[in-house]
Structure 1
Amino acid sequence: MTVRAEETVLPPSLVDLAVRHVRSEVLSGAYAPGDRIGEEALCARLGTSRAPVREALRLLVQEGLIEHLPRRGFRVVVWSATDVRQLFELRRVLERHAVESAFPLPATGDPLRAVRAALADMRAADGCGDDFERDNAHRRFHAAIVALAGHRQLDLAYAPILLKLQLPMARNLREEARATHRRDGVRRHAALLAALETNDRDIVLEEMRTHGELAYLDLEFR
């Protein structure tokens, strides 16, 4: 009888810690696009071995937040202006399709519950200056809008687009806070929720058209 060797299972907490740390630094701007992410330096900062750090970096590559360069290690992904513009165009197309499919929403229950919850989390995180949690809630907000369509394949198509856009989306909110008032990003999303609550498809589509997801990125991204 052949005894199968047990696979080494990494403690999820160590991998999660490394993922959160790197993602937070990338989304906050501590790492700029193209910056190298050294495994040894990460291990030293986190006080952990190389294995969970490598697994964390692998997961972040799958998300599209960083990329692996053969024989040169990892770096923050570099999106061209065309890449960013095209990704946002895809996001708009999918969100518009979701709204056109979902509206008018059913009169029973609370179909907007997940959208409201994400906005509440976004507002709370913004209020205490937690940009990492605000960015997470921001993505959940948009995912919850698409989920209104009840279309599993649409959700699956939308998820990787949203992951690839997490850095531009975070940058837009960060630059908006610097250029205007910190709470303006939350107010824009509250306006979108208010449009959703009208249950009028045309009002929602118009609010989405003027949402301003690219307004505070570099001019070449517009």
Structure 2
Amino acid sequence: METYSLVELAVDRLRRDILSGRTDPGERLVEEQLTRRLGISRAPLREAMRQLAEQGLVEHIPRRGARVATLSDDDVRELYEVRDVLERHAVTTTPPGRDLSRLRSALESIRKATETDDRLELANAHRRFHVEVVALSGNRQLTGLYESILVRIQLYMAVNMRREAETARAEDGVLRHERLFAAAEHGDAAALLEALSGHGARTYLN
């Protein structure tokens, strides 16, 4: 149990670093440095790295060790194509009168994270909001697949959100998600799809 707790600790800390943009895609993850920083031995660290690799956040390079996962331009394009297909199917099959409380809660998390400038929480809140949009369809398998796609994209979105923060107004992201919520609240699938297509997520990517 103690070893498992150390694994959970390492997974949580490293996942936070990766998804908040504190570590860049392709950055090496050196065992000696990580064991010192996390205060754990190599065994739980390696298990944590294995779990993060299964989540698509870490990749192991033969004879070179581990690094934060990278995506090629083609990977990014293909992931966004899959994301678009899943979103469109979810939105067009969502029945009317769905409970929007979880979506509203995610929007409030975006507002709070923006106010406190908590970049990890903001990235997580963005992902949660979009997952809740898809979850309105009631299709659990679709929602799970969609979330796994967003986690991989978030590797790059976190870095680019950090860059965007240097040039754009923080409230712009809130306004984008408020428009999405308004479309969902009115039950207008066409308006929601239009808002999603103009959401600007791709502009975060270089």
Partner residue of 1:53? 45
Is the counterpart of residue 122 in structure 1 residue 114 in structure 2? no
Helix, strand or coil: the match of 1:64?
A: coil
Aligned partner of residue 165 in structure 2, secondary structure = helix
Q: How far apart, in 2, do the equivalents of 1:27 and 1:128 lie? A: 17
What SS does the corresponding residue of 2:204 show, helix, strand or coil?
A: coil
Which residue identity lines up with residue 91 of structure 2 in the other structure? V
Alignment partner of 2:13 out of 21, 33, 36: 21
Distance 1:153 1:27 in 2: 23
CA root-mean-square deviation: 1.8
Q: Deviations over 1:118-149 (max 9, x none)?
A: 12112212211211111122111111111111
Instruction: Determine which of 53, 62, 67 is the counterpart of 1:70.
Output: 62
* 1:178 pairs with 2:166: yes
- Decide which structure has greater helix share: 2
Max Rg structure: 1
Structure 2 letter corresponding to 1:79: L
Mapped to 2, the partners of 1:16 and 1:158 lie a distance apart of: 24
| SS of alignment partner, residue 214 of structure 1 | helix
For normalisation by structure 2, the TM-score amounts to 0.91
Distance 2:126 2:48 in 1: 22
Contact kept? 1:176, 1:184, Cα under 8 Å: no
**Is residue 2:205 matched to residue 1:205?**
no
Is 1:93 the counterpart of 2:85 in the alignment?
A: yes
Aligned residues: 206
Q: Distance in 2 between matches of 1:176 and 1:189?
A: 16
**Deviation of 1:16 (Å):** 3.0
By how many angstroms is 1:9 displaced? 6.0
Quote the Cα distance in structure 1 between the aligned partners of 2:19 and 2:107: 19
2:123 is aligned to: 135
Compute the displacement of 1:169 (Å): 2.6
Question: Which AA in structure 2 matches 1:136?
Answer: N
Q: 1:51 to 1:187 in 2, by over 3 A?
A: farther
**CA 1:186/1:51 → structure 2, altered by over 3 Å: closer, same or farther?**
farther
- Structure 1: unaligned runs, 5 residues or longer: 1-7
Matched, 1:145 2:146: no
Q: Distance in 2 between matches of 1:186 and 1:21?
A: 27
Change (3 A) 1:53 1:183: farther
Query: 1:156 & 1:93 partners in 2: Cα distance?
Result: 14
Distance in 1 separating the partners of 2:10 and 2:170? 28
Q: Give the whole-Å Cα distance in 2 for the aligned partners of 1:121 and 1:146.
A: 17
Aligned to 1:10: 3
- Counterpart-to-counterpart distance in 2, 1:213 and 1:196: 18
Alpha-carbon contact 2:56-2:152 (below 8 Å) kept: yes
**2:180 corresponds to which letter in structure 1?**
L
Unmatched tracts of structure 2, length 5 or more: none
User: Contact 1:118 / 1:141 at 8 angstroms: preserved in 2?
Assistant: yes
Matching residue's letter, 1:142:
H
Structure 1 residue 26, shift from structure 2 partner: 2.3
- How far does the alpha carbon of each residue in 1:146-188 deviate from its partner, in whole angstroms, 9 at most, with x for none? 1111112212322321221121232342232222112322221
CA–CA distance in structure 1, aligned partners of residues 205 and 183 of structure 2 = 24
Structure 1 runs of 4+ off > 4 angstroms?
Answer: none
Q: CA deviation at 1:23?
A: 2.2
Aligned partner of 1:30 in structure 2 is 22
